Chains A and B, each alone.
Chain A
């Protein structure tokens, strides 16, 4: 891949994070922590097409973008989303570098969802709920695994079908 495509691709994927965060924000949630994680889609795609250092940048841009779109920058909710995004992004990156072609988007997404939820539970323990954290843990982990699985399957289908994605690889 040439240098020029890299330069366009990072802002494009970051913008996609922003857009998907806005879409997600428009979908009502039964609880503030139950989220679809749509904005993780560009991060998963990025693992296959961006160099590692650009993935760090994308994770950072996603955290800031999400906070701007949802209006949570400078609030304690930002701690949750920042910790979750950083943990899931870095975990997916680690898993991708470790297992390479032996893992698909589905495994990546599940690992990311689990890391995201563990990070959020840790923050919840220290910031909000203390020992009551264990009451929300199962809900968060179950919903996270389900949405992570669905998003993973969707992303896998996307990269197998997308001509745009195939173009990037060519």
Chain B
């Protein structure tokens, strides 16, 4: 069982290791920092950081919906939909949380930030 490494083999071994390290850095780098709210209104996406208070209005499929970002979370405060499920969904603040108003076609997902669920 013998085989021989050649000098350039180590170059590619090092390259592979660097690549893996980079992918791990990308993983940890992005999971920290402030969570962002990705708001999908009909076919358009808007992204806002959750660490800055903000009042938002979006023209959905039905009428204007009113969302508020405060204290590191986002919530629907007013919506033209019938059942107001989106308002009752309450606040979204951590990675993976989401709010949705299907009649008005507005979907909010939180990405980034520390996730409490271990995956």
Contacts and interface: CB of A to CB of B under 8 A. Distances in A.
A43 to B, nearest CB: 16
Interface residues of A, number: 30
Contacts of A134: 23, 26-27, 30
B16 A113 contact: yes
Bin the interface of chain B by size.
20 to 34
B55 to A, nearest CB: 26
B20 A104 contact: no
A153 B3 contact: yes
Contacts of A156: 3-4
A137 B12 contact: no
B23 A141 contact: yes
A135 B29 CA distance: 12
Interface string A67-103: 0000000000000000000000000000100010111
Nearest to B27: A134
A131 interface: yes
Contacts of A102: 6-8
B19 A104 contact: no
A145 B23 contact: no
Contacts of B20: 138, 141-142, 145
Interface in B1-30: 1-13, 15-17, 19-20, 23-24, 26-27, 30
Please report whether the interface of chain A is mostly helix, strand, loop or mixed according to DSSP. Answer: helix
A145 B7 CA distance: 18
Nearest to A158: B3
Interface in B26-59: 26-27, 30
B97 to A, nearest CB: 15
Interface in B57-82: none
B99 to A, nearest CB: 19
B111 interface: yes
Contact of A160 (B3, B8, B17): B3
Question: Closest 6 interchain pairs by CB?
Answer: A107-B9, A103-B8, A137-B23, A110-B12, A145-B16, A107-B12
Interface of A: 95, 99, 101-104, 106-108, 110-111, 113-114, 118, 131, 134-135, 137-138, 141-142, 144-145, 148-149, 152-153, 156-157, 160
Interface of B: 1-13, 15-17, 19-20, 23-24, 26-27, 30, 111, 119
29 contacts: A95-B8, A99-B8, A102-B6, A102-B7, A102-B8, A103-B8, A103-B9, A104-B4, A104-B5, A104-B6, A106-B3, A106-B5, A106-B6, A106-B9, A107-B8, A107-B10, A107-B12, A108-B12, A111-B12, A114-B19, A131-B111, A135-B27, A138-B20, A141-B16, A141-B20, A141-B23, A148-B16, A149-B16, A157-B1
